[in-house]
Structure 1
Amino acid sequence: MKTIILVRHGKSSWEYDVIDRERPLKSRGENDAELVANQFVKINDFIPKNIFSSPANRALSTCKIFVRLFGISQNSINVDECLYDFVGENVIDFIKKLPNDYDDVMIFGHNHAFTSISNIFGSTYIDNLPTSGLVKINFEIDNWRDLEKGTTEFIITPKELK
């Protein structure tokens, strides 16, 4: 069995005159990421060992919040350029090329890619994965290249935690 946990970055700030990759999180984005990370720890039976993030500041910052709350080293974060993707094709390619000894992965990235991937591979349709939203999908496969429709175990959104 394989498991993917997708986390959309927290709410970003448009206050600064920076390129898209450098946009930081708003304080609301930081707070929402903490809420979702804490809820994930409460309801999930493991902390993912394989954590990947888009290089964009807002995604990596969200990832660092989760890792801190998981109580694991920031060195456990793997940044990959392929995850700076808004359509989803690069993320799907990335997942299909994962080593098969990785049974679970947590990926921090962007919309529309994550909503699309959640709907293509998950069993629960979502209209839009909100900022700091998390989707956990389980797959009855042994090899990542065989990625197919899985079962959405749960979805966590900040709105439901407030």
Structure 2
Amino acid sequence: MKTLYLMRHAKSSWSFNDLSDQERPLNDRGRSDAPHMGQALAARGIRPHLLVSSPAVRAMSTAALVARELQYPPDQIQVIDGIYHADVDQLVDIIRELPDEAETVLLVGHNNTISDTASALSPTALNEMGTAAVVCLHFHADRWADVHRTNAEFYFHDSPKK
């Protein structure tokens, strides 16, 4: 079985007009919500084998703050450039190329793609994911290449507001 946690990055700041979109940092709420969600995941006993992130500063910051709460070494977060501009099909391809030895993966990305990918892979209808929200899906598959909505099981959708 493969387990995938899809996480939307925490709330970002729009206060820095001179920064590119990829360089935007988290705002105060984002810096609070990300560790809160990491604590919520830790309380569920979640320990990902692999944590992957978009290269955007807000996504990497979210991943690092969550990693700290999960006792996952931040220097082992894998940055996948393609997550940043991915559409649903491209993100599903990235997921299907994950290393099979990682049974449990937490992927931090961006909306609308992260919400749409969660909906595309989930056998259950999902609402849009708010910032720092996490959707967990279990797949009855031995390889990431075989994950699909038809072998998926929806486990939970959590957010800082819950």
Structure 2: distance between partners of 1:102 and 1:52: 11
- In the alignment, what sits opposite 2:123? 123
Other structure's SS at 2:105 match: strand
Q: Percent identity?
A: 31
- In the alignment, what sits opposite 2:9? 9
State the TM-score, normalized to the length of structure 2: 0.93
Structure 2: distance between partners of 1:87 and 1:112: 9
Structure 1: distance between partners of 2:108 and 2:56: 10
Structure 1: distance between partners of 2:22 and 2:160: 23
Structure 1: distance between partners of 2:153 and 2:5: 12
Give the CA deviation at 1:89.
2.2
Structure 1: distance between partners of 2:42 and 2:123: 22
Structure 2 residue runs of 5 or longer lacking an equivalent are: none
- In the alignment, what sits opposite 2:35? 34
- In the alignment, what sits opposite 1:113? 113
- In the alignment, what sits opposite 2:137? 137
Structure 2: distance between partners of 1:83 and 1:20: 14
Aligned length: 159
Residues 30-57 of structure 1: CA deviation (Å, up to 9, x unaligned): 11112211111112x3310111000000
- Paired amino acid for 1:64: A
- In the alignment, what sits opposite 1:49? 49
- In the alignment, what sits opposite 2:155? 153
Give the CA deviation at 1:94.
0.8
Structure 1: distance between partners of 2:154 and 2:36: 20
Q: Is the 8 A contact 2:53 2:60 kept in 1?
A: yes
Give the CA deviation at 1:95.
0.9
Give the CA deviation at 1:86.
5.0
Other structure's SS at 2:161 match: helix
> Which contiguous aligned blocks of 4+ residues in structure 1 show a shift greater than 4 angstroms?
none
Structure 2: distance between partners of 1:89 and 1:24: 27
- Paired amino acid for 1:26: N
56-65 vs 25-34, greater mean Cα deviation: 25-34
- Paired amino acid for 2:113: A
- Paired amino acid for 1:87: D
Q: Is the 8 A contact 2:52 2:108 kept in 1?
A: yes
Residues 55-109 of structure 1: CA deviation (Å, up to 9, x unaligned): 0000000000011111232112010101113522221111111222221111011
- Paired amino acid for 1:37: G
Residues 101-126 of structure 1: CA deviation (Å, up to 9, x unaligned): 22111101101111111111113322
CA-based RMSD of the aligned residues comes to 1.2
Structure 2: distance between partners of 1:59 and 1:113: 13
